[in-house]
Amino acid sequence: MLARLSQLDTSNGMLMKSPARLKRPQPIWRAGFTLIELLIVVAIIAILAAIALPNFLEARTRAAVGRTLSDMRTLATALEAYHVDAGRYPPHGEVLESGVVNYPAIVAGITTIEFTPGLPITTPIAYLTSLPTDPLLLPGGPDPLRHYGYIESTRMIDILLGRGFIASAEGIIPAYGGWRLYAAGPDGSKGADTKVNILYDPTNGTTSRGDIVRTQREAILTRAEDE
């Protein structure tokens, strides 16, 4: 009887439970990821990235090739407009290993590292507001090296004849017409493949080797096919 009375609260007469019988708070468990689940998620992301990245790079390459072809059509239009006004195509310039830029070209030898369009198609008459740059060319180098390659046939013929390369000079017009433009392919280099007649062809693979080339003879044939 005394044990039961000890459980009475003398202040309000309420029956109090013994401290030994109080319920302990239960721990709250929060949902989360286990280490295995996290590893599975990381593996899935890696697989998706491995699938998507090549497709992204190929799409970017196709876009750059498309821009190159569009720029070449624009340059070809400017060259033909110049020819209508001047009765000839603008001569090309050259960049030498020493960094010297000759305009028009006078060497066209082993010390020439690039042939480039010159000022006549941008000034004093703006057949082009500015010379476009090659989007596929690897970064680096001064502006003349960043532009599309350009060779005007009659100027090159005069240089070759002056050096005694008669056969090479005679083959230029039948092969290219009045001019040729060339640009880097997806491999990022420009000019080396053109010299050995390796041209870019997307049917060999989007990132296959070769320079992108457009010639006046090709442009004439294309117009004839469209008519």
Phi and psi based region of residue 70 (left: phi greater than 0; alpha: psi -120 to 50; beta: remaining)? alpha
What strands, in cross-sheet order, belong to the sheet with 179-183?
A: 149-152, 179-183, 212-215
Mean pLDDT in runs of 10 for the chain (227 residues)? 46 50 61 80 88 84 92 94 94 88 85 85 90 88 84 93 92 94 91 83 82 86 44
DSSP state, 58? H
As a dihedral over the C-alpha atoms of residue 175, residue 194, residue 103, residue 79, rounded to 10 degrees, the angle is 50
Task: Select from 215, 76, 209 the least CA-distant residue to 153.
Answer: 215
Domains in the chain, number: 1
Strand order in the sheet with 112-116: 101-102, 93-96, 112-116
Say if 79 falls within a structural domain: yes
Whether pTM > 0.95 for this model: the answer is: no
In a domain, 138, yes or no: yes
Does a structural domain hold residue 215? Answer: yes
Look at residue 31 and tell me if it is in a domain: no
Question: The domain containing residue 138 runs over which residues?
Answer: 44-226
List, in sequence order, every residue forming a beta bridge with 199; answer none if it has no partner.
Answer: 211
Q: Which two tokens stand for residue 118?
A: 């010159």
